[in-house]
Structure 1
Amino acid sequence: MSLSDFVSWFQSHNGVVDTTAIEIVDLPASEGYRGAVALKDIPEGHTVFSIPRTLVLSTRTSQLPNRFGEVPWRGFGLHEGWSGLMLCMMWEAALGAQSKWGPYFDIMPSTFDTPMFWNDIDLAELQGTSVVEKLGREQANKDYNEKVIPAMQSRPDLFNQEDISTRYSLETFHIMGSRILSRSFTLEKTDDAAEKDAHDDDVGNTSIGSAMDVDSGQNASHPHSDDAHAEGEDAHAQEEEGGSDDEEEVAAEVVMIPYADILNARYQTENVKLFYEPDCLRMVSTKPIKAGDQIWNTYGDLPNSELLRGFGHVDYLLLATGGRGNPGDVAELRADLIVQSLGNVSQADMEARIDWWLEEGGEDVFVLELPASREAVELPPDLLAFTRLISVDEDWARAQRKSTPPKPKADAATLHILHDALGKRLALYPTTLAEDEALEAAMDALSLNQRHALIVRMGEKRVLELVRARVAELLAAADKGDNKSKRKAESGPENGRKKRKE
């Protein structure tokens, strides 16, 4: 199907497009393959297109859950995570022209540059990064075999059993998951829908929450994303982002929105935002857009590790701290590396401290952000508090008494531990930042996957090295202060009196 055929289908289902202002175009692979450009100067506040709610694809608008039945749907666990939506998408796609969304599936990508589809050699290029452990392939395979296959086998009237190895294959399941991961939005239900869900979870009206970029107000603030593109392939790890309890299930759902998901994104470049109204969703310009410029939505200024994992691309921009990369890059420091930097500790006592931390709502992975400048490096307060909790007996005892974490104090002992932990974190990569920068100079000779992996790991290493350098500076100052205090104590009044007596 051509793009013009898709637009015609969209308009025939009450989708509205200002065809004088916007056009979908094919783009070079480096720019996202497909996107939308302005045909003329677009003023701020202009609606470039709108989508009726009836055209949103979800487990609420697809007929499959209703025909399957709520009780068996929940019995197979299809209401949890994204497996239900992935099954709905496979079912709708298998219907072809009989599905309302047939033309929508015709223009969706079937191949992806995301690491989910990389071979082992290319995946090895990401060793040490936070990407590989978040792919969720094993969990997705488990969900397919333990939830989706039994559900399909139980309803031969809905699923042609001969099609399971083709239209409903594991590969197709992964493709649908990657489509969700790279193109989905999150909808939050209206009060009316939430009240209805107290009695019936099958059908309900919804309102837009933040995913790619959505707002319920007419005067939006700067776009923000809650990373709804979290774990599309992993129907349980999903819940790392969206939660899995019934209350959160009622509060939000992941959906596919035709036309809106064609827009690309780049760090702090967004110029449109999706707003909702009772019957439709409107994509509105948030600033003037020049004719010929691309129309950008936002994924929430994600780091390159998340852009690559979810979308198969990275941002490669000039950085205030030097070099090129993504200004939103982060690095993760696991709690176990901090524990390892303590030396000999009682395992039972350490488990008690960590359990207390987690029960109080603390995280076991600490996110370090790329600073705006080398002088602006900050140590996360929760990282300092956790380090003191597990290393200072007095702080641990006080935390138990007062049910509050230690104060985030960066004393010499804490800094020593963090400096060692950051060194351990950097050692997880098979290459150093200097070695990667040498590869960067000849990056044109690398494959696309190798280039993306290089840019991702360089971004993480820059964060880690900047933070470790800052810790070293603070540690030097703390050690200097301790030595000065020690010398002062040694030459204090008491020693002075002894000298006078002599």
Structure 2
Amino acid sequence: MATEAKRAKVDDGAELSPLQNFLQWCDRVGLVLSKKVCVSKEGTVAEYGMLALDSIQEGEVLFTIPRSALLHQGTTKVSALLEKERSSLESSSGWVPLLLSLLYEYTSAQSHWKPYLSLWSDFKTLDHPMFWSEEERDGLLKGTGVPEAVDRDLVNIRQEYTDVALPFMSKHPEMWSPDTHTLELYTQLVAFVMAYSFQEPQEEDDDEDDEDDCGDEEKIPNPPMMVPMADMLNHVSKHNANLEFTPDSLKMVCVRPIKKDEEVFNTYGQMANWQLLHMYGFTEPYRQNCNDTADVPVGSLHRAAARGIKSDLERQQLEERWETVTQTLEGKSAFVFGKHGCLTDTELHTALKVLCMSKSEFSEFKDNEGWEEDEEDEDDETICRALSNEGLPELTSSWKRLLHDAASVTLRAYGDGEQEVERVLAGDRALMKDEAAVARLSCRQKKALQVRYGQKAILHRLMDLTKS
């Protein structure tokens, strides 16, 4: 650990900085930090980050966090109360116990985690789109799916606070006060959990074949938890470190060599730019995010299939086929395309197959109540290749036309719905090439541009690959 960061006071008796205070707290709780790294705000891509003070080899442990230093509903001072009344804290997110823990600890002067939580004096600096104005979200992120996701979040947060958290806090005024622990603070802490929490991976079930196990129960994900120090690392898709979980501790391990003065990057998973912005408040540069994606909403495919329909009979036939498609999609709202093709290939393959059947084929399909066995067992690898960038140009003309039109419908949604596709793409394309113009954009405008243009570029390529 850098000696400058550990120094208790400077010569004039000035108070410790929040970072110095946090690093001293890490020493006290037994968090072991390698001497080859340091935490800094300088030389990092955003806010706090971790830098290499020396070259680091693959497999080296960068820091070890004892489980007693983790902050969650089982380690907080109010853990016994939360456990006693956990049945009243159930919600769709499953986050209420952690959020109540954070509400208490963040506002308690005696909190064990105060040096850690004091690193964030204002959670709005995370700059999630939920803190943007509605006009900014709708104007800068139209078509990306982010405004709709944020609207759902805000509705769910308000409902969860009003229906679950607030009644619980009112029962325990000695611990919480609605005047202090407001909806605004609750919302900010949701953003904090979204941006900085970790979830422990599910343990593999060794008894999968046990005759008493029905095998149909959906596993409940482990609740999120706050992991001091691990959450200081920034994310890139091509990361060089990874968090490992053991029974006694969590360890950040180097997964590829890191040179001196390079930043240490963790990964938050395979995240598209719209997901990074929605969940964490940042984006990766357009070409650097190898996990970027664009959605083709299921509704776009339906509108594309409805093009050219001229009679009530044709409309009826389409809706009959569409009912079959929606049953196979099982609630999925979009087909996802990445930089190398469709990521939801099985669902899209089924939809295209049903929608492009001849009358006689669909009649036979209905009579058989589904696929013939040889059709049902189509090879996954074959389907994957067919809907990859290499396979798309080789699809039958009816499939290509339907995909091309669906991509066109989707692209137009980024504009006013009536603009030509090329005009929808042209503005952002020209802006991306003008470094001086990009430099003049606000931080929010830059992040929105990365999201919009990345998605538009994937959809435009899809159109190119499916030209008849």
With the shorter chain as reference, the TM-score category is 0.7 to 0.9
Of residues 419, 442, 459, the one that matches 1:464 is: 459
- Whether 1:336 and 2:316 are equivalent positions in the alignment is no
Contact 1:86 1:177 in 2 (8 A): yes
With over 3 angstroms needed to count, the CA separation of the structure-2 counterparts of 1:13 and 1:277, relative to structure 1, is same
- Whether 1:27 and 2:19 are equivalent positions in the alignment is no
Counterpart position of 1:53: 67
Of residues 12, 27, 45, the one that matches 2:28 is: 12
Counterpart position of 1:453: 448
Q: Residue type matched to 1:147 in 2?
A: V
With over 3 angstroms needed to count, the CA separation of the structure-2 counterparts of 1:79 and 1:462, relative to structure 1, is closer
2:326, 2:342 → 1: CA distance? 29
Contact 1:331 1:368 in 2 (8 A): yes
Q: Residue type matched to 1:38 in 2?
A: A
2:323, 2:48 → 1: CA distance? 52
* SS state at 2:64 partner: strand
With over 3 angstroms needed to count, the CA separation of the structure-2 counterparts of 1:306 and 1:191, relative to structure 1, is closer
* SS state at 1:400 partner: coil
Counterpart position of 1:383: 348
Contact 1:22 1:38 in 2 (8 A): yes
- Whether 1:101 and 2:113 are equivalent positions in the alignment is yes
* SS state at 1:292 partner: coil
Counterpart position of 1:177: 190
TM score, norm. by length of structure 2:
0.78
After TM superposition, the structure 1 = structure 2 runs for residues 363-402 of structure 1, keeping only pairs within 5 Å, are: 363-371=332-340, 380-392=345-357, 394-395=361-362, 396-397=365-366, 400=370
* SS state at 1:50 partner: strand
Counterpart position of 2:212: none
Deviations 1:286-322 (A, max 9, x none): 22222211111112242211121122222115x4xxx
Deviations 1:46-85 (A, max 9, x none): 2121000111112222243421444x32224258522322
Counterpart position of 1:248: 219
- Whether 1:284 and 2:253 are equivalent positions in the alignment is yes
After TM superposition, the structure 1 = structure 2 runs for residues 224-373 of structure 1, keeping only pairs within 5 Å, are: 247-249=218-220, 251-268=221-238, 270-316=239-285, 319=287, 326-343=289-306, 344=309, 345-346=315-316, 349-350=320-321, 352-359=323-330, 363-371=332-340
1:183, 1:405 → 2: CA distance? 43
Deviations 1:175-226 (A, max 9, x none): 111111111111146689x9xxxxxxxxxxxxxxxxxxxxxxxxxxxxxxxx
Identical aligned residues as a percent: 26
Offset at residue 455 of structure 1 (A)? 1.5
- Whether 1:37 and 2:37 are equivalent positions in the alignment is no
Offset at residue 358 of structure 1 (A)? 3.4
Counterpart position of 2:401: 416
Counterpart position of 1:486: none
Deviations 1:317-346 (A, max 9, x none): 5x4xxxxx6332110011111112222533
Structure 1 unmatched ranges of 5 or more: 195-244, 320-324, 476-502
2:75, 2:320 → 1: CA distance? 52
1:23, 1:66 → 2: CA distance? 36
Contact 2:195 2:279 in 1 (8 A): yes
Q: Residue type matched to 2:26 in 1?
A: F
Offset at residue 261 of structure 1 (A)? 0.6
Contact 1:24 1:37 in 2 (8 A): yes
With over 3 angstroms needed to count, the CA separation of the structure-2 counterparts of 1:85 and 1:452, relative to structure 1, is same
Q: Residue type matched to 1:175 in 2?
A: Q
Count of paired positions: 400
- Whether 1:138 and 2:108 are equivalent positions in the alignment is no
**Which 4+ residue blocks in structure 1 deviate beyond 6 angstroms?**
376-379
Offset at residue 401 of structure 1 (A)? 5.4
1:257, 1:387 → 2: CA distance? 45
Counterpart position of 1:3: 19
Counterpart position of 2:141: 126
Offset at residue 271 of structure 1 (A)? 1.6
Deviations 1:423-473 (A, max 9, x none): 11011012611111223321122211111111110000000000111011x
Q: Residue type matched to 1:433 in 2?
A: L
Structure 2 unmatched ranges of 5 or more: 1-16, 208-215, 310-314, 387-394, 416-422
* SS state at 2:284 partner: coil
Offset at residue 43 of structure 1 (A)? 2.4
Q: Residue type matched to 2:354 in 1?
A: L
With over 3 angstroms needed to count, the CA separation of the structure-2 counterparts of 1:379 and 1:106, relative to structure 1, is closer
Q: Residue type matched to 1:285 in 2?
A: C
TM score, norm. by length of structure 1:
0.73
Contact 2:197 2:225 in 1 (8 A): yes
* SS state at 1:315 partner: coil
2:347, 2:202 → 1: CA distance? 33
With over 3 angstroms needed to count, the CA separation of the structure-2 counterparts of 1:313 and 1:188, relative to structure 1, is closer
- Whether 1:113 and 2:127 are equivalent positions in the alignment is yes
Offset at residue 88 of structure 1 (A)? 1.5
Contact 1:43 1:289 in 2 (8 A): yes
Counterpart position of 2:427: 435
With over 3 angstroms needed to count, the CA separation of the structure-2 counterparts of 1:436 and 1:348, relative to structure 1, is closer
With over 3 angstroms needed to count, the CA separation of the structure-2 counterparts of 1:470 and 1:32, relative to structure 1, is same
Offset at residue 247 of structure 1 (A)? 5.0
